[in-house]
Structure formats: structure tokens, C-alpha cells
Structure 1
């Protein structure tokens, strides 16, 4: 079964808040646990380049999971992800983030 690669694009206007999100994602794969074990294969976030093609998105988070079930756990039950969502909720503008996922 192929791994799942997930990209989440955020519109966060304040560069300080973008850096805060980058920091949160830098420890996500260690902080997120499922059944007492780390389950995220890779997590990172980076600011986008200031370019009209970015359409206002200022941050891209990339997470890699072993399978879709792990990604679903991340969305619905993961305390570390809930913490990131709580931190970013008031900082994101123009609706919810855009999330895409695909087989690796």
C-alpha cells in the first residue's frame, strides 16, 4: 500500500505567525502519537515565495503517512494536530486551508 503525502496550504498574512506555524510543524512527527507510538513519517512546513502565482497562500505544510487510516486519525483524533489547528485558527484568513493528498 503506498504512503499518503498530504499538502495543506494556508493564507496567513502575518510573517511572524507563518514562522510560528513552521515551528509547530517542525516537531509534529515527534509530538503526534497513535497507540503510544509516533505515526507521522514526515512533517514540515515552509513559507511560500512572494509571487502572484501563490494566490495568497503563504505557508505549505507537508505531512507523510503510512496509510489513509493514519491520515484520518490525524484529522479526527490527534492531539498534536488539534493543537496546531487551535494555534492557527485565528491567524488564517480567507476561509479554511486548502488540503490535498495523494499516493506517494
Structure 2
């Protein structure tokens, strides 16, 4: 039995107006994500602005998405039109360090014995 895939994406986006634009872009993604069969495939998605804290090290917006499988997450990365539109929107925002250094993506399968 495979575990769900949890994906965390963080952005260094210092401008509060740009942060709000990114939050709005994620709301569009949440409404419009679908596979070819018309069915949504993201199990859950939460996005927000970080709470000011030195440990944040400049990361200001965080998205956490949950997928039923690695294949669904790969579809999100490579084929989802709604995610492609979000990535284009991100390029227009003031990402500190550009997309190479101002965005971090990690994903993992949760240990089934954790809460």
C-alpha cells in the first residue's frame, strides 16, 4: 500500500501585494485543477503567508498539497494546465533570488506511524 505524497512549496516573496497575488493564483488553481477525465486529483491544499519569525529565513508564502500518489504529483508538475498557469503567474512576481533560489519544493511520503 502506497502512502500519500505531501508536497511543500515555499516562496521568498517580500512584497505583501505580490504575496496576495500568489494566494489568489493558488485559489484559482484549487478551483480549476482537473485531469483529462475532468476529475480533481489534489486531495488537499493549504496556502498562506508565514508568520514573521527569524527562523523563516525569508520564506514568506507556503503551500502544502497532498496527492494520492507520486503519479498524481508528477501530473501536477508536468501536465496540469491550472498549475502551468500558476507557474507563469509566479514569474511575474518579485521572487527574491528568482525562481532558482526564491522557490523551494520538497515532497515526501509520510511515515504511516505518525499523526
Following the alignment from structure 2 to structure 1, what is the Cα–Cα distance between the partners of residues 42 and 109? 15
SS at match of 2:48: strand
Q: Structure 1: which 5+ residue stretches go unaligned? A: none
Per-residue deviation at 1:17?
1.2
Larger radius of gyration: 2
Per-residue deviation at 1:57?
0.6
Q: Name the count of aligned residue pairs.
A: 104
- Aligned counterpart, 1:25: 26
Per-residue deviation at 1:13?
1.3
**Structure 2-normalised TM-score?**
0.83
- Aligned counterpart, 1:62: 64
Instruction: Note if 1:98 corresponds to 2:104.
Output: yes
Q: Structure 2: which 5+ residue stretches go unaligned? A: 111-115
Following the alignment from structure 2 to structure 1, what is the Cα–Cα distance between the partners of residues 13 and 21? 11
Q: Which has the higher strand share?
A: 1
Deviations 1:36-72 (A, max 9, x none): 2111111221001122211111000111111000111
Q: Pairwise CA RMSD of aligned residues?
A: 1.3
- Further displaced range: 88-97 or 2-11: 88-97
Following the alignment from structure 1 to structure 2, what is the Cα–Cα distance between the partners of residues 38 and 57? 28
